[in-house]
Structure 1
Amino acid sequence: MHVKLTGHRARVGAALATTAALLATMVVTATATSSVAATACAPAWSSTATYTGSATASYGGVNYRAKWWTQGNVPGTETTSPWESQGACGTPDPTGTPDPTGTPDPTGTPDPTGTPDPTGTPDPTGTTTPPVTPATGHEACRPDGMYKTPGVDVPYCDVYDADGREKLPNGLDRRVIGYFSSWRTGTNGQPRYLASDIPWNKLSHINYAFAHVGADNKISVNAQAAGNPATGMTWPGVAGAEMDPSLSYQGHFNLLAKYKKANPGVKVIPAVGGWAETGGYFDADGKRVASGGFYTMTESQAKIDTFADSTVAFIRQYGFDGIDIDYEYPTSNKGAGNPDDFAFSDAKRGQHFQGYVNLLKTLREKLDKAGAEDGEYYMLTTATPSSGWLLRGMEAYQVVQYLDYVNLMSYDLHGAWNEHVGGNSPLFDDGKDPELTAAGVYTAYQGMGYLNGDWAAHYFRGAMPAGRVNLGVGFYTRGFQGVQGGVDGMGGKAVPPAGFSCPAGTNGKCGYGAEGVDNLWFDSDPMGNAVPAGVNPIWHALNLQKGIAGDYAASYKVPTAVTGSYVHHFDPVTKNEWWWNASKKVFLSGDTTQAIGAKADYVADTGLGGIMIWELAGDYGYNSAKGQYEIGQTMVDLMHSKLSATTAYGATKANADRVMPKQAIDMSIDYTQFALGDSNYPINPKVVFTNRSKTDIPAGATISFQYGTTDTGEMSDWSGMKTATVTKGHTGPNVGGLKGDFHTAQFTVPLGGIPAGGSITNQLKWTMPIAQFSNVIVTIGGVSYSTTYDYPRGVTVVEPTGGTTGGSTGGTTGGTTGGSTGGTGTCLAPAWSATETYTGGKVVSHSGRTWTAKYWTQGEAPGSQQWGAWSDSGAC
């Protein structure tokens, strides 16, 4: 559950070096390094050896030191690497003879490590490595794995560099993204947080919360209403909040534009939706209108187009850098999201995710077209759930290719919507999560826990580069009262007393949320009463630890007296922080610098893109004159310190141990026919592999793909294709974190092959949620190819060898196997078509044989499935 607590740009262009120039620089550097090497080489690195922190190895004429545990990571080949260079080693060999220490051989001799050879010499691993023409223009800056809008010269280089990495301001190597909420205006006497209070010199992005979907399906901030906070409010006499008179609007948008002029590298992006405005919106009078919001807007393409067109106009009008979609949630699980929206969300829950896909694809294409017209790139991002339960109802998350990055809502993982007392935002599982234990999850899934940031990060890492995934942190608490059991409250239960009225959506089985002085940032129910949930900014939690309520408490209409002692705790495994008041039995969980520091280190060490904050106004500083904590920037300062002193983020979908071929064939993969989330056990969709080449892929070819370690690694199929996991990136419980990013699975293309323009359907089966497949390799006759499905960088799209070129029937009758003897040589039945619908009894020809449909079918190639829709009627 994710509660959003309620309530023109200046760019400096820079010349970009081409990929060829960068490669040339690397060669020159390597040559210069080897010419001065004099240090002895450590033992040669081995792909099978395990190295722990401080271990040394040599590779490529350079000594390396391991920064942490590693196996299979090739030194010097990864942006975010476990290896740290210690400088050149060994004696240079002027003859060009291969160096046994692993120094690259300039003669072009095949490299037994499988590293691509730029000379075009075949690689003995089976991967072909022909010369590749470097991408030119803006395509050279497109991030790995990102969809490219057809026919549009998208200005990627406005935002991304020649490696496809986002260019970040303020010395940052990773993103620091802060949500800035519209409602902390100070007009009610409560602490104010305006654009002038934002630490602009420490952030990379600012997300404004929130815009909404209006009744007309257009994006809105109620700009037509006088005095609205986005475009109409002013703050006379507040230093730093003076309006920019050159702009035609006032409010937060005026101040955001004003400060962005002084900080042009910081991107400002409005967010649409949130918990309260996903299925409706607040009108100008502050009353919620249950319009259906995202749920109804995504019902038709016409409505989606209206919203997307208005979004482009909105971005242009106010000078924003893109749009953030905070749709909570397009899942097929029953009773998910805001209870106020159940009339919409439960009624058509099997349709929401397809609507979400259509929305994001449309936005991507319209933003790209607008960006090409305007000469600047517009970003598309999302706030995404982190709970494995919610993600089970979101199919295989078939939208990541349209997104610049995802912001994980890796908080609100425990709260008073049930009685199990756990941390608000655990980074790791400890095998003892109270909610998962009660539900038998550990027993069912080999000890795997899915309510933690690490699991969520690996879910998305399985489908996109690490650098396009941002870990979420909360600058607020969640908490319980009346806690029984556990260790200092953690892991206990908070059962409400008799007669307690549980909030809507909890089926009368809620927890006993903390209230009063322990619930400063409370939401209100429809009657205006505070919802007990233990929600507080971190600065208030620190004041409770000091034994004071702060001089602001009365403005929130909570008690000002503090009783008992709030003792701070930190768990080194989960990285949970919490305060426990033993006399009151109150438990409050939230992050301060201890947890934030650990999470920033995790982001740096794993190659993730950065950190997203909900919300900036929860950060703290100490007012020594008043003797209390107040709004500040202590935790943002810590993030900036850590994330400006690390390495660049991971920019490739594949890790170094999965060398992707530089030739690719045109193949798409579609994930279809998922059960509703509550019935999706096991997860068993029909996955369609479509050969969009002009050449058949023959039977016997293999298709290998990787998928996230958020699943237990038991991939199989119900199609007779003998799909199996061939390597596992992680096994067993995930206490302290998942150890690898990918499992690798493989199957063999069946009888009939995949004809040019045709497809095969493999009904695959796995256990826990994964986000799509990645790093797909098709091998035909010993030659391996990447696929366009992965939207890779720097590949050459070719026709596969080893198949048969499609004939005059559009490429649907090709194939090298499947009954080429025994018939007359002439097929009289019409050729099978991948797009035609067939009913039982229909007869077609395909791959030199005649086939009869057993029942209704479309898109299933005859002979592609052992127990499929077609009956083999013999050779023709």
Structure 2
Amino acid sequence: MAFAATAAAGLAGLLMGTLGVAPSAAAVDNQACRPDGMYTTPGVDVPYCNVYDTNGREQMGADHQRRVIGYFTSWRTGKDGTPAYLVNNIPWDKVTHLNYAFAHVASDNTLSVGTDGPNNASTGMTFPGVAGAEMDPSLPYKGHFNLLTKYKKQYPNVKTMVSVGGWAETGGYFDDSGKRVNSGGFYSMTVNADGSVNQAGINTFADSAVNFVKKYGFNGVDLDYEYPTSMKDAGNPLDYSISNAKRASLMKGYAALMKTMREKLDRASAADGKYYLLSVAAPSSGYLLRGMETFQVTQYLDYVNIMSYDLHGAWNKYVGPNAALYDDGKDAELAAANVYGTSQYGGIGYLNGDWAVHYFRGAMPAGRINLGVPYYTRGFQNVQGGTNGLWGTASTTNCPAGSGLTTCGDGAVGIDNIWHDLDDNGKESPAGSNPMWHAKNLENGVVPDYLSKYGVSDTSLKGSYARNYSAALTSPWLWNADKKVFLSTEDDQSIGAKADYVVNQGVGGAMIWELAGDYKWDATANGGKGEYVQGNTMTSLLYDKFKSASAYGATRSTIALPQQTLPIDVSFTNFALGDNNYPINPKIHIVNNSTVTLPGGTEFQFDYSNSAPSNAADQSGFGSKVIRADHTGNNIGGLKGTYNRVSLKLPTWQSLAPGASVDVAFVYYLPVSTPANWTVNVGGTLYGIAGDYTRGTTAGTGSPSPSSSASASASASPSQSASPSASASASASASQSASPSASAGTCSGAPSWNAGTTYATVTKVSWKGHYYQNKWWTAGEDPSLSGAWGVWTDLGTC
């Protein structure tokens, strides 16, 4: 990602500096609501305050402090005889967002759900006789979209997103007959055959996406691109003929897609006075993320939905949990790859949800991250070794047709695989995939009534399915010792523990794939079947855990940053491909777009996620070193803290003139998202950089006032930055000591600003002969240095 210096705040600052024009009140208010670290389309007054409060937190209703995002799938209509899951089955009072899965990228690069007609589940199908699924006759379309719009009128706080892509439709799409067309898709839409970015295709798609959300009443777009990674043979094997040839350009195309989507949605938001969201479903595996550079698209997203599942499955022989929250130091796949034994990795296991949260936390506030939870199982048969199957192996050469594999995991089948896919020959793909209500029936020895509808011929239960639970992994599983079947599950215990994790870590919420897998007990005493059926047990638990939780984390940096910024662009470039990318060794490309020369000895500092160990270094003579590590050692039980902070300096003999650039060869050993929280120390004056998009900063050109120099230098001195306990309050004290006494400029109409006071509510203060009022929570920020875009509004002299 190139850190651009063209945010709206920067533009406003430029206007004030060159034309003497103050930004409008509306622009100031909207910027006050912008989430920390999020890009703003230049020149556009984006109506953030329609969705976000003045702390940059999403508004979701009084009883929703964290997100509960549910994927709703288009294909569970009940027309094939299997249980339907329709819009009326959604627990609308428990969720905050619904992602409609899936739309696709058609051959003409437009967003599509196929041709309108009575068989189109999205726009034309009806569900006669189903109570609650009656169409709203006032709408020009039918199907799921009609019902989503109908129910949103009753639950106006719930936001709907159209989700594009998915595993089966990343490199192609299903036509109206249900046949997969191997054209269209993200790979072709974003990258040309010669490896160049297909900007024309991206523009076509983004324009159609804007039109689509307006036509059908969606609140935004969710992109599920699996996967823009340079790792060979990643993603759907049906896409390899296209994707493998373009590996070197996929992230470049992905970044161009996200930037274009953000800008077109921003412009539509400003024109419509209605803010449109943009999110992605992101991988959680360190293997996939290693080939995705620094996942430099987070700046364009409202939030990331981490697919913190599919971490173990029948694509290989290593038997493990689908969605472990933590590493236990025993992961068989990682052990086989000597991850635990390679010192540069620091013993860090990277196939767990906590690792993935910390990966994204390096580039985003915790509140813009959502932890994925699966409402489905994955499983193996003929398992050898392990503890009740866990960390054993299950291998076969009988791999699904079209998979491209000669050896794979021995996936469970039949009664242990009712939510199966079909391979290229129309045969069951072994995977151990089941809704959680079916897993509960297996666990409790219940032979349910729906098996024949899923094509299960042998409906007898053989052996028993004993529930196991690992508190170290936060993972339950079923083990059938007679059949040697292992099914990785979720239930109220693991979902409750994950909800507690979300709350305690300040994470934005949970994302569910998919709502139709949730369960409840249908008791015969109430006229039911005496078996587990579709329900809302786990979703209700998430809601209950979140409704009284504290507000999520809305700031990215854990130390005070300078308020004044310089237009210095930083990007990470020259990534090697795939398996050649070890250690990860890009170039840090620094461009001085300011009006001053950066002298030799200029110090840059930044944070990178502690998803990677604290052993990053450069190979260019810049003396890069980690000066603070929030966590050391392995990550059994979870990573502590957030960051590793790095210092690097221009060599004493090398200055950087305006417009000049320099490259630093940088090495690290596990993937990290785009480093953030940059500071630049120029001759004793500390700046941020504009492209960090940090809330409350002001744009500068490189000629600070003496007062701002003193305050900036004091607020983040090298000694403070190197201290793990450095905090905003420490910065405030330092700032105060560099300022006049606390009584200076006190006016009779308001108390004096005090650097040691936390202003959690809107408060009027006096300082240096002026009245000021804060727009959001603040501590230690000198009102006289706040600027038009900062936390303090200057109310005039007193």
Q: TM range, normalised to the smaller chain? A: 0.7 to 0.9
1:710 maps to 2:616: no
Any conservation in 1 of the 2:679–2:688 contact (CA below 8 Å)? yes
- How far apart are residue 501 of structure 1 and its match? 3.7
Aligned with residue 331 of structure 1, among 212, 223, 229: 229
* SS of the residue 2:146 aligns to: helix
Which residue does 2:416 correspond to in 1?
Answer: 518
CA separation in 2, counterparts of 1:338 and 1:170? 41
Match of 1:158 in 2: 50
Deviation at 1:799, TM superposition (A): 3.2
Tell me the equivalent position of 2:560. Answer: 659
Does 2:546 match 1:643? yes
- Tell me the CA shift for residue 569 of structure 1: 0.9
The amino acid of 1:136's aligned partner reads V
Unmatched 5+ stretches in structure 2: 1-24, 192-197, 706-798
Code of the residue aligned with 1:574 in structure 2: it is L
**Structure 2 CA distance for aligned equivalents of residues 416 and 629 of structure 1:** 26
Which amino acid in 1 is paired with 2:546?
L
Q: Counterpart of 1:19?
A: none
CA distance in 1, matches of 2:326, 2:76: 32
The equivalent of 2:533 in structure 1 is 630
Q: 2:643 aligns with which of 729, 735, 742?
A: 742
Which residue among 764, 777, 780 is the counterpart of 2:666?
764
Kindly indicate whether the alpha-carbon contact (under 8 Å) linking 1:275 and 1:337 is maintained by their aligned counterparts in 2.
yes
Give the equivalent residue in structure 2 for 1:486. Answer: 386
Contact 1:135/1:794 (8 A) holds in 2: no
1:440 to 330, 333, 338: 338
Going from structure 1 to structure 2, the CA distance change for 1:503 and 1:480 (only over 3 Å counts) comes to farther
Q: Does residue 284 of structure 2 align to residue 386 of structure 1?
A: yes
Matched residue type, 2:530: G
Q: Larger deviation: 184-193 or 218-227?
A: 218-227
Structure 1 residue aligned with 2:31: 139
- Structure 2 match to 1:603: 502
Name the structure 1 match of 2:428. 530
Matched-pair identity in %:
54
* Letter aligned with residue 452 of structure 1: N
1:112-148 per-residue CA deviation (whole Å, 9 max, x = no partner) reads xxxxxxxxxxxxxxxxxxxxx9982211111010000
Is contact 1:502-1:508 (8 Å) kept? no
Deviation of 1:763 (Å): 1.2
Counterpart in the other structure of 1:425: 323
Equivalent residue letter for 1:328 = E
Rounded to whole Å, the distance in 2 between the matches of 1:678 and 1:590 is: 32
Work out which structure has the larger RCO, using CA pairs closer than 8 Å and 6 or more positions apart in sequence. 2
Within 5 A, what are the aligned runs for 1:304-319? 304-319=202-217
Does the 8 Å contact 1:698/1:802 carry over to 2? no
Q: Secondary structure of 2:395's partner?
A: coil
Contact 2:401 2:424 in 1 (8 A): no
Contact 1:465/1:652, CA 8 A, preserved across alignment: yes
Aligned equivalents of 1:686, 1:436: Cα separation in 2: 28
Aligned-partner residue type, residue 662 of structure 2: I
Q: Is the 8 A contact 1:664 1:798 kept in 2?
A: yes
Question: Aligned residue for 1:507?
Answer: 405
1:285 counterpart SS class = coil
Q: Please state whether the residue corresponding to 2:340 is helix, strand or coil.
A: helix
The answer as to whether partners of 1:517 and 1:549 remain within 8 angstroms in 2 is: no
Aligned to 1:592: 491
Larger Rg: 1
1:565 paired to 2:434: no
Task: Provide the secondary structure at the position in 2 that maps to 1:755.
Answer: coil
Structure-2 residue corresponding to 1:245: 137
Aligned mates of 1:152, 1:449 — CA distance in 2: 43
Could you say which residue in structure 2 is the equivalent of 1:129? none
C-alpha distance after superposition, 1:815-845 (max 9, x if no partner): xxxxxxxxxxxxxxxxxxxxxxxxxxxxxxx
Mapped to 1, the partners of 2:699 and 2:233 lie a distance apart of: 45
Q: 1:596-644, CA deviations, whole angstroms, 9 ceiling, x for partnerless residues? A: 0010000000011000000000000110021100000000000000011
Check the 8 A contact 2:400/2:429 in 1, yes or no: no
The CA deviation string for residues 39-70 of structure 1, in whole angstroms up to 9 with x for no partner, is: xxxxxxxxxxxxxxxxxxxxxxxxxxxxxxxx
Question: Structure 2 counterpart of 1:585, which letter?
Answer: K
Q: 1:797 aligns with which of 694, 699, 702?
A: 699
Find the counterpart in structure 2 of residue 615 from structure 1: 514
* Compared CA separation, residues 167 and 202, structure 1 to 2 (3 A): same
Q: Secondary structure, in 3 states, of the residue corresponding to 1:541? A: helix
1:192-341 map, 5 Å: 192-299=84-191, 300-341=198-239
State the 4+ residue runs in structure 1 displaced beyond 4 angstroms.
none
Offset at residue 422 of structure 1 (A):
0.1
Deviation at 1:297, TM superposition (A): 0.3
Deviation digits for residues 326-373 of structure 1, max 9, x if unmatched?
Answer: 000000110000000000110111011100000000000000001100
How far residue 500 of structure 1 moved from its aligned partner, in angstroms, is 2.6
1:223 touches 1:230 (CA, 8 Å); kept in 2?
Answer: no
Q: Give CA deviations for 1:548-592 in whole Å, capped at 9, x if unaligned.
A: 231111100113211111010110111011000111111000110
Match for 1:458: what amino acid?
H
Query: What residue number does 1:777 align with?
Result: 679
Q: Which amino acid aligns with 2:64?
A: L
Partners of 1:473 and 1:613 within 8 A in 2: yes
For 1:142 and 1:704, locate their aligned partners in 2 and report how far apart those are by CA, in whole Å: 24
CA distance, structure 2, for counterparts of residue 189 and residue 310 of structure 1: 34
**Separation (CA, whole Å) in 1 of partners of 2:548 and 2:661:** 48
CA distance in 2, matches of 1:549, 1:523: 22
Give the SS at the match of 2:409.
coil
In the alignment, residue 539 of structure 2 is paired with which amino acid? V
- 1:390-401 matches, within 5 Å, as 390-401=288-299
CA offset digits 1:356-411 (Å, max 9, x no partner): 00000000000000110000100000000000000010001111000000000000
Letter in 2 for 1:174: R
Equivalent pairs, count: 667
> What secondary structure does 1:789 align onto?
helix
Unaligned runs of at least 5 residues, structure 1: 1-132, 804-876
Residue 80 of structure 2 corresponds to 188
Change (3 A) 1:184 1:502: closer
Instruction: Quote the offset at 1:505 in angstroms.
Output: 3.7
How far off its partner does 1:503 sit?
4.9
CA distance in 1, matches of 2:629, 2:510: 28
Q: State whether residues 399 and 407 of structure 2, in contact with CA within 8 Å, keep that contact through their aligned partners in structure 1.
A: no
State how far apart, in whole Å, the 2-side matches of 1:601 and 1:557 are. 38
Partner letter of residue 243 of structure 1? Answer: M
| 1:322-361 equivalences in 2 (<5 Å) | 322-361=220-259
Q: Is the 8 A contact 2:109 2:184 kept in 1?
A: no
Could you tell me whether the CA contact under 8 Å between 1:483 and 1:489 is conserved in 2? yes
Seen in structure 2, the aligned counterparts of structure 1 residues 225 and 758 have a Cα distance that, compared at 3 Å, is: farther
Instruction: Tell me, yes or no, if structure 1 residue 581 matches structure 2 residue 480.
Output: yes
Q: Distance in 2 between matches of 1:269 and 1:169?
A: 17
- Distance 1:256-1:802 versus aligned 2 partners, 3 A rule: closer
1:470 aligns with 2:370: yes
SS at match of 1:347: helix
Partner of 1:691: 592
- Name the counterpart of 1:18: none
Partner of 2:194: none
Say if 1:219 and 1:310, in contact at 8 Å, map to a contact too: yes
Which position in structure 2 is the counterpart of 1:82? none
Distance 1:712 1:771 in 2: 13
- Root-mean-square deviation (CA, aligned residues, Å) is 1.4
State the alpha-carbon separation in 2 of the partners of residues 743 and 565 from structure 1: 48
Q: 1:455 aligns with which of 340, 355, 360?
A: 355
The answer (yes or no) to whether the contact 2:363–2:673 under 8 Å persists in 1 is yes
- Normalising to structure 2: TM-score of the pair? 0.82
> For structure 1, which segment, 749-758 or 373-382, has the greater mean C-alpha deviation from structure 2 after superposition?
749-758
Q: Hey, what does 1:723 align to over in structure 2?
A: 624
